[in-house]
Structure 1
Amino acid sequence: MLWFGLSLLLCLQNVAAWHSDDDLMSFVTLPDVRAVRFDITYQDRSRVAPGYWFVSPYLHISPDEPTSLYEQYQVGPHIYDQDGHLIWTGSPMFDNHNVFDFKVIHSIGNEPHISLISQYSYDSSSRGYGMILDKNYEVFKKVPLRQDLGLFDIHEFNVLKDGKSALTTVYLREEISLAEYGRPEEQTWLQTGGFAEIDLNTAEVTYEWRSYNQIPLAESVHYSPYAGVEGPPGWDYVHINAVDKNDNGDYLISMRFTNTLYLVSGVDGHIIWRLNGQHGGDFVQEFTFSKQHDAKFLESSGTHHIISFLNNASDEEFAEESVSSALIIEVESGTVPMTARVLHRYNRPDGDLTRLRGNSQVLPNQNMFVCWSQGGYISEFSLEGDPLMSAQFTSPRYSNYRAYKFEFTGRPHTPPDVVSSVVGTDESNLVTTFWVSWNGATDIAHWNFYAQASQFNKPVLVGNASKTDFETMFIAKGYLDWVTVEAVDHNGTAFGISKVHRTSFPNWETSGWNGYSSSPRPQNPATIHQEDTSTVADDWTSDDDLLPSADDTADAQIRKATLTLMNTYETIRSIGGLFALILLLALMCGIMASYMLIRGWRVRLYQRVPMEEGIPEEEAYLRPEMTD
């Protein structure tokens, strides 16, 4: 029982640790946001590609039901720099709902945009959308899926190179006979994986394709001829999870539960070829793959294709290989026989398996960036396969379906967020603390901090600080009531300024205030920051009705000196009284001594009694009485 109790206690401690707030970031300027932290390891930082991490952490892959409990914003789209510092959180924008396939696209106009999937709601009242944001993080397009094609699937929203259309995966259901398995009398429901191409301007479906009658049941590795029948939604027998399109107009699709990549004709929908990860399919190959994700064309010209994808090599039940990997393969379909070979393999750095989800991305410098999904685990490799960086969420509670890396310039239209507060014990040591952040601004070099005597006066520069994290703190002397903060880029150009903010103050009665008055008065920044008077406008005028014209700091110094003198005087008084008492006692003793001398009294001093020889002092009382 003792061991059981200890084990239970350890388990509870582990659960508590998993739910510790140490794995989340908090911010003064965005108090409702708790962003996940990263643990990061660099093997060779000098070789990693430039860019930001685009991730969308989630707690549960399925949408959560609404709750009346307060929830801080945690999940949804987030951008981080390569030190794990938050750049942008879109969690408030998407009301703490899951977002998938969050990435930068360059196919619309001359400016980069962001594409993502806003997940459908738990009750399907919102059917989900493909969305495109501009660099200001504002909605540029919101693309629904035609209602008869079901909910907007979370696997893919692939905006094509023309910037006019996008691909999405589709899951539909229908009831079929199991005659193909020799069971014609039995009926089962079937999920038919497919895809659709959508016009981004009109949301019209310009092409659609479904797996049933194209991919036989026998190609599924998830169901056997003896599998039991199911009601809706039915057998997920192929599980489509990726779709891409080449310049020929043909479509590359990945079917997880057949371990196969298919090339589908854009003309009539027939399957041009199959690349099977376990049996080769139509190709001669010397490698295997299974349960793959995120198959994409890197090149495609005629019969020659370069394709990247994540080889999960496993699922929740089986593992066909010992480690997951990202692969770049070359497919040649113009030869007899057709061939496929691996050009590059990037094994998961920890030697483990990614049994669900994930993606791979070839970066502009040819590095490979891989999301291994669970725990937000991501890696970057050189072209040659050298591991350069690995990172994962500090908390094991969160995962990430796909992650990407892009260079990006974000310029939000909203102003920076500022919070300021004042503290101090008297007028001589008042300080104002600023906190500032700008959610989504990517190119801030440093912040300029300003204060003004009132909302009608010109701002005065009171200091600056480099931006090193999402939120920057700065402390300025004095009680600065009206404050603003300005963002400056690496070229020294100011490009954003906050709204004017009023500084908050504590309850002075309970905060240890011991000042000249019952509470401090705001100070004139032009006076207490004299070294910065060059930044004050020429038409600066103090407002005597709103602010004291005298320098409260000087008053406080005089008052402190006066208090010091008073305290010293009181101390001297108390010491003086004691000293007077001692003198009085000494005087009385002197008078009594003089009196005794005058009367002839003598003071007999104590003298040691001689001891007999050989008898210790402590034994003297034992000696016999001596008589004459």
Structure 2
Amino acid sequence: MIWYALFLLVVQNAAAWRYTDDDLMSFMTLPDARAVRFDIETLDRNRTAPGYWFVSPYLHIEPDEPSSEYEQYQIGPHIYDEDGILIWTGSMQFDNRNVFDFKAINSFDNKTYLSMILQYSYDGGERGYGMILNEKYETYRKLPLRTDLGVFDIHEFNVRKDGKSALVTVYLSEEVELTEFGRPNEKTFLEIGGFAEIDTTTAEILYDWKSYNQIPLSETVHYFLDSVIEGPPGWDYVHINSVDKNEAGDYLISMRFTNTLYMVSGLDGKIMWRLNGVNGGDFDSDFLFSKQHDAKFLESSGTHHVISFLNNASDEEFQEETISAALIVEVETGTTPMTARVVKRYNRPDGDLTRLRGNSQVLPNNNMFVCWSQGGYISEHSPEGDVLMIAKFTSPRFSNYRAYKFEFTGRPTIPPDVVASVWGTDETNLVTTIWVSWNGATDVVSYNFYAQASEFDKPIFVGNISKAGFESMFMAAGYVDWVSVEAVDRNGNVMGTSQVKRTRFPDWENVGWSGYSSQPRPQNPSRIFQSVDGFSTDKSIDDSSFASFDGTAEAQNRKTTQTLATTYDAIRSIGGMFALILLLAVMSGIMASYLLIRGWRVHLYQRVPKEESYAEEERLRPDDD
């Protein structure tokens, strides 16, 4: 019975977790957006690299079927700072679609851009794109993949340093004979992994390569001699998940289901060498790896290569090691035998395995930034291997394929978002609350707040606050309307100004309004706030002018009259008590006089302050018997 009770408890907790939204941020200024929260453990902030986190949370790796239920925007590209504060959400801009490989690049005009993969749509109406955005979050390039190469794959969109081309992974399906597996009379569909290099201006294919006839079936660790044949798309026998290119024009690719990194010639497409694999590869190495992701060149010159990648060491079915790790390896092809050595290893901080996805990134200060994927788990490590930061999404329902850290300056062209509302029970306690955010702006340090008597009146400065988080809140005494906000940088320059928005107000009767008038009217900010050299002080005005405007003085007079009446009643009630106290005092005096006459004496004792010598205190004691 106890086991059944525990089972019910677990089920209830799971159901509650499923429907809670405590793992999401909400904002007054962006009511349709919900950003995933992070739990963060910072171990040494002084040694972490500067920059923002670039993540793209998703709920399911495949596009979700449209639903008739309203759901706020949650997934897609996001930028956070090191404290988990949201900087930018692109969820609304990309219609809550899955986005992958979201990062900053420096490939055009000596400026920082953003690149990402917009996944194909659920209905197949869109086949996916490689997207490049400028610092204003506007689309700079939108690149499709040639139709015969399939949909735009989610694994890689690697814009080259010169900005002229980008590398993408490709998946195609073909029917092949199983002669290699000793089954010449049988065929199966095969999911052929490959890559292409595309022009970032025209989307023209500059180079493409396919695994079949280059990588035999015998190298797969995912299918075997007796595996059941499949229809389209077929056996995913290599599963390519990354591609990079060196200055010599050769390509480094990672095949997850062969446990191998391959160097492919840019001249003839032939495999130049294999690192690891079922047959041990072509190197004398001091390490093993499996189900790896995100292999990238750190250095590549002649016969010497330094490569980083994530060693998952496991997948959904198999486990070759007990812990996943980011590796930096040094490869030398000019020796006999060729050698491969681990230069640095960064183990997953919690000692667990990343069975799917993930990536590693060497930062400019040589720190290692790693995405362990499931639950948005990320970490940053010093070059010496010390863990400097650990973070993950507050709930495990979201994941992240790759995460990166970059310095970036966002300059959105859309204005700051503003929402204002007023609250109070009478004219003396009205307060206007103003919320402001500027999605994607990285340089804002403070906000200036303004109000107007009407749509066409001059804005009056009502206050200034420092920026606090993604969304900041300002409270102004009184009821101000037609509000607007300026975003200010550290040098005092106005970076952007919001639209003028009306202040929202409640159903005054339902909130218990008891003011002088039937409902409050907005106050003229020029009568409340006086501007001095761009700054303001809150100035009250005389009651006569205030009364003629919104009834505040009348309400205050009424409150004062009520207070005086209450005070008078209290004094009257206190009068009887005062008489009683006076009578008791007189009686006490008479009793004291009587006792004195009878000769009673009252002995008062006062302790003498303690000194170094106790002589005085001793003299006060009675004589010993």
TM-score class, shorter-chain normalisation, is 0.7 to 0.9
Match of 2:611 in 1: none
Check 1:572–1:404 CA distance in 2 against 1; reply closer, same or farther (3 A cut): closer
Do the aligned partners of 1:523 and 1:552 also contact (CA within 8 Å) in 2?
A: no
How far apart in 2 are the matches of 1:305 and 1:181?
35
Q: Secondary structure at the match of 2:107?
A: coil
Do the aligned partners of 2:520 and 2:550 also contact (CA within 8 Å) in 1?
A: no
Offset, 1:536? 8.5
With 426-435 and 16-25 compared, the bigger mean Cα shift is at 16-25
Match of 2:37 in 1: 37
1:521-540 to 2 correspondence within 5 Å? Answer: 521-530=521-530, 532-535=531-534
Do the aligned partners of 1:176 and 1:188 also contact (CA within 8 Å) in 2?
A: yes
Check 1:523–1:102 CA distance in 2 against 1; reply closer, same or farther (3 A cut): same
How far apart in 2 are the matches of 1:321 and 1:3?
34
Match of 1:284 in 2: 284
Bigger radius of gyration among the two: 1
1:225-264 to 2 correspondence within 5 Å? Answer: 225-264=225-264
Match of 2:176 in 1: 176
Check 1:230–1:555 CA distance in 2 against 1; reply closer, same or farther (3 A cut): same
Check 1:449–1:218 CA distance in 2 against 1; reply closer, same or farther (3 A cut): same
How far apart in 2 are the matches of 1:196 and 1:549?
75
Offset, 1:468? 2.2
How far apart in 2 are the matches of 1:552 and 1:482?
20
Q: Secondary structure at the match of 1:102?
A: strand
Amino acid at match of 2:211: S
Match of 1:559 in 2: 558
Q: Secondary structure at the match of 2:483?
A: strand
**Partner deviation per Cα, 1:253-280 (whole Å, 9 max, x = no partner):** 0000000000001111000111015653
Offset, 1:45? 1.0
Offset, 1:548? 7.7
Amino acid at match of 2:493: T
1:106-505 to 2 correspondence within 5 Å? Answer: 106-276=106-276, 279-505=279-505
1:93-108 to 2 correspondence within 5 Å? Answer: 93-108=93-108
How far apart in 2 are the matches of 1:379 and 1:572?
66
Do the aligned partners of 1:312 and 1:353 also contact (CA within 8 Å) in 2?
A: yes
**Partner deviation per Cα, 1:459-502 (whole Å, 9 max, x = no partner):** 22211111121111111101001111111112221111100011
**Partner deviation per Cα, 1:264-299 (whole Å, 9 max, x = no partner):** 011110001110156531111011111000000111
Match of 1:87 in 2: 87
With 515-524 and 550-559 compared, the bigger mean Cα shift is at 550-559
Check 1:509–1:551 CA distance in 2 against 1; reply closer, same or farther (3 A cut): closer
Do the aligned partners of 1:523 and 1:548 also contact (CA within 8 Å) in 2?
A: no
Q: Secondary structure at the match of 2:22?
A: helix
Q: Does 1:69 pair with 2:58?
A: no
Do the aligned partners of 1:277 and 1:287 also contact (CA within 8 Å) in 2?
A: no
Match of 1:591 in 2: none
Q: Secondary structure at the match of 2:180?
A: helix
Do the aligned partners of 1:527 and 1:551 also contact (CA within 8 Å) in 2?
A: no
How far apart in 2 are the matches of 1:415 and 1:452?
19
How far apart in 2 are the matches of 1:426 and 1:485?
27
With 368-377 and 550-559 compared, the bigger mean Cα shift is at 550-559
With 557-566 and 154-163 compared, the bigger mean Cα shift is at 557-566
Amino acid at match of 2:561: T
Do the aligned partners of 2:358 and 2:371 also contact (CA within 8 Å) in 1?
A: yes
**Partner deviation per Cα, 1:5-27 (whole Å, 9 max, x = no partner):** 44213322233124321111111
Q: Secondary structure at the match of 1:15?
A: helix
Do the aligned partners of 2:165 and 2:200 also contact (CA within 8 Å) in 1?
A: yes
Offset, 1:572? 8.5
Check 1:453–1:322 CA distance in 2 against 1; reply closer, same or farther (3 A cut): same
Offset, 1:224? 1.2
Do the aligned partners of 1:379 and 1:391 also contact (CA within 8 Å) in 2?
A: yes
How far apart in 2 are the matches of 1:197 and 1:60?
28
Check 1:424–1:318 CA distance in 2 against 1; reply closer, same or farther (3 A cut): same
What RMSD over aligned residues (CA atoms) do the two structures have, in Å?
2.0
| Number of residue pairs aligned between Structure 1 and Structure 2 | 568
Do the aligned partners of 1:241 and 1:255 also contact (CA within 8 Å) in 2?
A: yes
Q: Secondary structure at the match of 2:111?
A: coil
Offset, 1:335? 1.2
Offset, 1:226? 1.7
Provide structure 1 residue ranges, at least 5 long, that are not aligned to the other structure.
580-628
Provide structure 2 residue ranges, at least 5 long, that are not aligned to the other structure.
577-625
